[in-house]
Chains A and B, each alone.
Chain A
């Protein structure tokens, strides 16, 4: 079956006065129907730029400089503004990190959600639209849905605003929902509510989700598959259980080790990843993670590793997986010798 979203060798850059910032440097992945894929990485890893590239929402100096993005088989790179506008919201919708700034403070929330229906389903009457919005509000569990249609964003809490955003994104039943850190600005208690809501909505209507986050805990709760990004590249991609139980990239291992475990011995120090993320104007010549990697060899600094297959649906971009990599002190020797992808 054809995937809903297929991204091939996507490259996105920002042309700034101090040089070309290569935010995304050749990323390939796909999202299948009904699947929820998590994209994890720290700030500057290129995860948000990837999602904006898919939505064709890059502004100003940002530009897709290569590759292809196919949604339901249709190429989106280079598509006209008008045509993209008819796809956005209908086939692919997005929710953002900050529900405080993504809503118009001067319009009642019901009207803002209704706008989405108005834009894509012109034959609906005003009353039909209102009924549909009320139904959407009930679906995202906004209490007293009919009454809240006329409320303004400032009358809602952060969690409720994010529910309005989700209602808006779901209005036209898109095939793909892109969620860019939708719970980062919220309290854990509210984050938990929103994640449960997204899980149950996905079960109900079976759409695909691309979930961008820096929190591996959130990914564990929601996603079937995980993509780990670093320095504008995909470092590892695997099934959720595989990634947590058999990580095949030192960066993923580092991320997992730096999360405090509720059951961990308090006297032990956390194991942080040393150093800071790379400068994307002059990305390292070799593996972008090599300056921070405890296992880096000479080849890592000089040459970008290819993608190796470490198992079924499990790929990793690390020299340690090469058949010729040293066996001693190699944390990945169990997965070594996979073929180059």
Chain B
């Protein structure tokens, strides 16, 4: 394997707008830039509707980017046709949120996991395909007997294992995990997270991990990016964001996490976030967070804050921080 220092994924000024009728646009992703080094994990968090899933789907070219560039292992994939993309698709795979909706109910587990192999014409013989699927299923903790069953016969955690097997059978380098654990029970979440971490170490995978569960994100990510209304508002090392959050939105989001400790929980009050996410069709002027920010000033209403490095490796977009 060649040694290289190009980031596995590099996203520059990525923008995705959806038409919303009567010449209006949903600003789902607005000028988002980040990069992920090989073998690392970037966690992307925010409330629902903040554009984190749209961002992931645009990166993997399920959605066409409105503007901006996407580099996969140094190669610009943002303008390729779907046909030209095919060889790159082997390198990037996705794990979806809902293990109930993302597996075809009419296919056996074997067929679901073998489908990527067939799409890319990888196996010359049935025998070879069989062998690869068997091995992959074993690695996610399912056995041969499971291969001939249908998705509805499995629990949520087992289904997510099938989803992981499907994503990893092509030996991708970048895996986009779109809330892979949100639909699972707590005891099962830990199983899946540990499995994802195990595969990362073993196969040197790069993850873009989308979640709204901030406590789990810290546990899986090297870096964390916080999104609000289509924009990145803060990004830094995972531990740093919990220890020294700078953006008022991040602070609010962190204090909203229920604390699994009754002694601490009773003390906290008054913090947290007020109000709801404004509409991404007509995002607020200036800093998009100003409508909910306890520190908003005239300047925040008028002028969008710049993306600046407040401390080494710690980026934030807020007028209160003078870098």
**Chain B, residue nearest A279 (CB):** B155
**Can you report 21 A-B residue pairs in the complex whose CB atoms are below 8 A from each other?**
A42-B188, A157-B276, A188-B212, A188-B257, A189-B47, A191-B256, A192-B256, A214-B186, A215-B258, A217-B265, A220-B261, A241-B263, A244-B261, A260-B216, A260-B218, A262-B215, A264-B219, A266-B239, A272-B191, A276-B157, A276-B188
Mask of B252-285 contacts with A, CB within 8 angstroms, 1/0: 1101111111110100010011101100000000
Pair A189/B194 contact, Cβ less than 8 Å: no
Complex-state Cα separation, A259 to B238, whole angstroms? 18
- Indicate which residue in A192, A215, A270 contacts B193 across the interface (CB closer than 8 Å): A270
Pair B276/A160 contact, Cβ less than 8 Å: yes
Which residues of B190-216 are within 8 A (CB) of A? 190-191, 193-194, 197, 212-216
The reply on B189 being an interface residue by CB < 8 A is yes
Pair B194/A272 contact, Cβ less than 8 Å: yes
Complex-state Cα separation, A195 to B256, whole angstroms? 10
The reply on B33 being an interface residue by CB < 8 A is no
* Nearest 8 pairs of A and B residues by beta carbon: A217-B258, A272-B190, A192-B256, A42-B185, A270-B190, A273-B187, A272-B191, A258-B190
The reply on A174 being an interface residue by CB < 8 A is no
Interface size on A, residues (CB 8 A): 42
Known: A188-B257, A255-B186, A258-B187. A193 touches B273 (CB 8 A): yes
Complex-state Cα separation, A117 to B252, whole angstroms? 37
The reply on A37 being an interface residue by CB < 8 A is no
**Which of A42, A188, A241 neighbours the largest number of chain B CB atoms within 10 Å of its CB?**
A188
Q: How large is the interface on B (under 10, 10 to 19, 20 to 34, 35 or more residues)?
A: 35 or more
Complex-state Cα separation, A256 to B186, whole angstroms? 9
Which residues does B use to contact A, with CB under 8 Å? 47-48, 155-158, 185-191, 193-194, 197, 212-216, 218-219, 238-239, 242, 252-253, 255-263, 265, 269, 272-274, 276-277
Query: Which residues on B sit within 8 Å (CB–CB) of A43?
Result: 156, 185
Query: Which residues on A sit within 8 Å (CB–CB) of B259?
Result: 217, 220-221
The reply on A5 being an interface residue by CB < 8 A is no
Given contacts A220-B258, A244-B261, A269-B194, 10 further A-B contacts (CB under 8 A): A220-B262, A244-B262, A255-B186, A255-B187, A258-B190, A260-B216, A266-B218, A269-B197, A270-B194, A277-B155
The reply on A274 being an interface residue by CB < 8 A is yes
Pair A42/B257 contact, Cβ less than 8 Å: no
Smallest beta-carbon distance A278→chain B, Å: 11
Mask of A48-83 contacts with B, CB within 8 angstroms, 1/0: 000000000000000000000000000000000000
Pair A192/B258 contact, Cβ less than 8 Å: yes
Smallest beta-carbon distance A276→chain B, Å: 5
Pair B276/A190 contact, Cβ less than 8 Å: yes
**Which of A160, A214, A259 neighbours the largest number of chain B CB atoms within 10 Å of its CB?**
A259
Smallest beta-carbon distance B100→chain A, Å: 12
**Chain A, residue nearest B292 (CB):** A189
The reply on A187 being an interface residue by CB < 8 A is yes
Pair B258/A221 contact, Cβ less than 8 Å: yes
- Indicate which residue in B158, B218, B272 contacts A193 across the interface (CB closer than 8 Å): B272
Query: Which residues on A sit within 8 Å (CB–CB) of B274?
Result: 193
Which residues does A use to contact B, with CB under 8 Å? 42-43, 157, 159-160, 187-193, 195-196, 214-218, 220-221, 240-241, 244, 254-256, 258-262, 264, 266, 269-274, 276-277
Pair A215/B190 contact, Cβ less than 8 Å: no
Question: Would you call the interface of chain B mostly helix, strand, loop, or mixed?
Answer: helix
Query: Which residues on B sit within 8 Å (CB–CB) of A276?
Result: 155, 157-158, 188
Complex-state Cα separation, A207 to B191, whole angstroms? 38
Pair A271/B190 contact, Cβ less than 8 Å: yes
Complex-state Cα separation, A235 to B259, whole angstroms? 23
Smallest beta-carbon distance B153→chain A, Å: 11
Pair B253/A189 contact, Cβ less than 8 Å: yes
Smallest beta-carbon distance A318→chain B, Å: 17
Query: Which residues on A sit within 8 Å (CB–CB) of B185?
Result: 42-43, 214, 277
- Indicate which residue in A157, A191, A215, A262 contacts B186 across the interface (CB closer than 8 Å): A215
**Chain B, residue nearest A259 (CB):** B260
Smallest beta-carbon distance A177→chain B, Å: 19
Pair A189/B273 contact, Cβ less than 8 Å: yes
**Chain B, residue nearest A226 (CB):** B262
Smallest beta-carbon distance B216→chain A, Å: 6
Complex-state Cα separation, A179 to B214, whole angstroms? 24
Smallest beta-carbon distance B251→chain A, Å: 11
Query: Which residues on B sit within 8 Å (CB–CB) of A214?
Result: 185-186
Pair B261/A159 contact, Cβ less than 8 Å: no
Pair A221/B188 contact, Cβ less than 8 Å: no
Known: A189-B272, A272-B190, A272-B194. A195 touches B219 (CB 8 A): no
Query: Which residues on B sit within 8 Å (CB–CB) of A189?
Result: 47, 252-253, 256, 272-273
**Chain B, residue nearest A216 (CB):** B260
Complex-state Cα separation, A76 to B189, whole angstroms? 37
Query: Which residues on A sit within 8 Å (CB–CB) of B262?
Result: 220, 240-241, 244
Query: Which residues on B sit within 8 Å (CB–CB) of A196?
Result: 269, 272
Complex-state Cα separation, A269 to B219, whole angstroms? 9
Smallest beta-carbon distance B215→chain A, Å: 5
Query: Which residues on B sit within 8 Å (CB–CB) of A193?
Result: 272-274
Pair B188/A272 contact, Cβ less than 8 Å: yes
Complex-state Cα separation, A189 to B276, whole angstroms? 9
**Chain B, residue nearest A272 (CB):** B190
Complex-state Cα separation, A283 to B158, whole angstroms? 19
**Chain B, residue nearest A159 (CB):** B276
Pair A217/B194 contact, Cβ less than 8 Å: no
Query: Which residues on B sit within 8 Å (CB–CB) of A254?
Result: 187
**Chain B, residue nearest A41 (CB):** B185
Query: Which residues on A sit within 8 Å (CB–CB) of B219?
Result: 260, 264, 266, 270
